[in-house]
Amino acid sequence: MLNMIMRRLGAAVIIFFLVSILVFALILLVPGDPAVAVAGENADADRIEAIRSQLGLDDPIIVQYWNWLTDALTGDFGNSLVTGESVISGLTERLPATASLMILSVSLAVIGGVPAGLLAGLRPGSVFDRGASVLATIGLAVPSFWLALVLIMFFSLDLGWFPAVGYTPFTENPWNWFLGLTLPAITLGTAGMAEIARQTRAGVADTSRREYVQTAYANGVPEHRVVGRHILRNASIPIVTVLGLQVAGMLGGSVITETIFGIDGIGSYAVQAVSQRDFPVVQGMVLFVTIIVLIVNLLVDISYGMINPKVRSA
């Protein structure tokens, strides 16, 4: 098991370096002179020169990359070109809002998706199964920005149950924190819930037909134990896989959701940075998100090993 974790960790480090090269190359891909692009078309030559040396654009590319990477590894992603604020503090300030949103969205997706998929998978072809699969298809098909607007119109503007925009930190007021994030979490979590329900259904329906499930029944293991122990355990590998993908996907989806609901999180920070061509912020953000995705993937791999003993030795 430890052996497997070390190997996956090694792979993660390699992927991190490859991504860092791509992220760094981002600035080289900007058409024309990045310094001009950053400074704006009307900037004078002194200003462009200042930006050029601030970005270290006079050094050879390898040196530029090395300096940038070693700084990044110590948590220094440079400063925002727009506000001058350090990128890392910009990220850490906004992290709690995004983390809260992610945790609620993932919880919603799991709490709604797994039981629905389980019930549907145990009775394939039943009314519940067919109803759930129609709902899941709708959940996957509905664009999140549209869903967000409908939710706001109905639950905020008509019923007034939830605020339409804004984020309250948990430490300030947990109830308002929860109220403010409910609609964003539904927006962000619905597609994930639908996907998890589909995967759970497929996994459970497939596992239920396996011979070892029959063995358990034939030896008198009662149904709730067969489902809870034998079926769910083996069906959870595709569920965990899709959960890992969903977390990565939700990080991307948070860009839209945070912007619509006026949450000052990582996602809306990214939108700002891109529209203002704030390259250090974009670079820092991509690297930051990469690390989170790599950690999630590592956790997924480790849980494979915990679920399936064959993976441990593989």
Partner 1 sequence: MTAGLEAENAVRLPALSVRDLRVLLPDSERDIELVRGVSFEVAAGECLGLVGESGAGKSLTGYAAMGLVERSGLRLEGTVNVADVCISDLGGRRLSRIRGQRISMIFQEPSVSLNPAFRVGSQIAEVVRVHRRTSRREAWDRAIEALRLAGVPNPERRAREYPHTLSGGLKQRAMIAMAISCEPEVLIADEATTALDVTVQAQILDLLRELQDRLGMALVVITHDFGVVADICDRVAVMYAGQIIEQGDVRDVLYRPQHPYTQGLLDAVPRAFETAAVVGIAGTVPPPDALLTGCRFAPRCPYAQDECRVSEPELMATGRDAMVRCIRHSDINLPGVRRAV
Give the interface with partner 1 as residue ranges (CB under 8 A).
210-212, 214-223, 225, 229-230, 233-234, 307-310
Coil, strand, or helix at residue 41?
coil
Closer of 45 and 314 to partner 1 (Cβ): 314
The minimum distance between CB 301 and partner 1, in angstroms, equals 17
How far, in Å, are 21, 28, 222, 274 from residue 73 at the CA level? 13, 21, 53, 22
Coil, strand, or helix at residue 59?
coil
Closer of 67 and 214 to partner 1 (Cβ): 214
DSSP 219-288: TT--HHHIIIIIIHHHHHHHHHHHHHHHHHHHHHHHHHHHHHTT--SHHHHHHHHHHTT-HHHHHHHHHH
Closer of 80 and 303 to partner 1 (Cβ): 303
The minimum distance between CB 220 and partner 1, in angstroms, equals 3
The minimum distance between CB 120 and partner 1, in angstroms, equals 16
Closer of 14 and 218 to partner 1 (Cβ): 218
Closer of 160 and 220 to partner 1 (Cβ): 220
The minimum distance between CB 214 and partner 1, in angstroms, equals 7
The minimum distance between CB 130 and partner 1, in angstroms, equals 16
Closer of 127 and 218 to partner 1 (Cβ): 218
Give me the residues paired with residue 79 across strands. Answer: 86
- DSSP letter for 24, please: H
Closest C-alpha among 91, 96, 69, 65 to residue 79: 91
The minimum distance between CB 209 and partner 1, in angstroms, equals 9
Coil, strand, or helix at residue 81?
coil
Give residues with Cβ within 8 angstroms of 51, minimum separation 6. 35, 38, 39, 43, 81
